[in-house]
Copies of this chain bind each other. A is one copy, B any other.
Amino acid sequence: MAFFVQKKDFCVNHELAKLQEKSSNIGAIVTFTGCVRGSVNGQLLSEMFLEYYPGMTEAELERIENEATKLWSLQAIVIIHRYGKLQPGDRIVMVATASVDRCSAFEASQFIMDNVKKRATFWKKESFTNGESCWVDNREQDFRRLQR
C-alpha cells in the first residue's frame, strides 16, 4: 500500500515493477491513468493547475486504500496524484491494484478512483487558449446549468 502526492511525473513501468516486487503471486494488475485532456466542451486547454490540501489529502488517500484492502484481497495498491501546473496530455493521477485475480484488481481500481474523485481534497483550475480560466467545480455547475 503506497500513496504519493507529488509535483513531478511518474513512470508507469517503474511503478508496475515496484508493485510486482511486493508479491510473487500477482496474476492481475489494473492501472487507471487520468490525463489532462486537450479540450473541454470544445474549448482548447492551455494549462491545468491542481491545488491540494496538504495533510488531509494524504490522510484521505490512506483511508481509501484501507477501505479497498478490506473489501478485496489485494497484494498491492499504489496511488500517485500530481499537483501544480500540468499541460494537456500530462498524467494527473495513477491508481494501480494488484491481485491474484482479475475481478478484484478491476473492482478495487474502480472503487479507489471513484473515491479519489469524490473525497481526495484536490481542486482543478483549467486555463484555455482563449485566455479564459475557471475552477472545474464552477465549470461543472455552469455546465449543469447549461444543460437544464
Residues of A whose CB lies within 8 Å of any CB of B are 11-13, 16, 20, 23-35, 37-39, 88-89, 100, 102, 105-106, 109-110, 113
> A-side binding surface: helix, strand, loop or mixed?
mixed
- 10 A-B pairs, CB-CB below 8 angstroms? A12-B12, A13-B13, A16-B33, A20-B89, A23-B38, A26-B35, A28-B34, A30-B30, A32-B106, A34-B102
A34 to chain B, nearest CB (A): 6
Contact of A11 among B13, B27, B28 (CB under 8 A): B13
Given contacts A24-B39, A37-B100, contact A105 B29 (CB under 8 A): no
A33 touches B38 (CB 8 A): no
A106–B95 CA distance with the chains assembled, in angstroms: 12
- Taken together as a complex, chains A and B put the C-alpha atoms of A35 and B17 apart, in Å, by 12
A113: chain B residues within 8 A (beta carbon): 102
User: Given the known A-B contacts A30-B30, A32-B30, A102-B113, are A38 and B13 also in contact in the complex, defined by CB atoms under 8 Å?
Assistant: no
Q: Which of B35, B39, B100 contacts A29 (CB 8 A)?
A: B35
Minimum CB distance partner of A103 in chain B: B110
- Is the CB–CB distance between A32 and B89 below 8 Å? no
Q: How far is the CB of A23 from chain B (nearest CB, A)?
A: 8
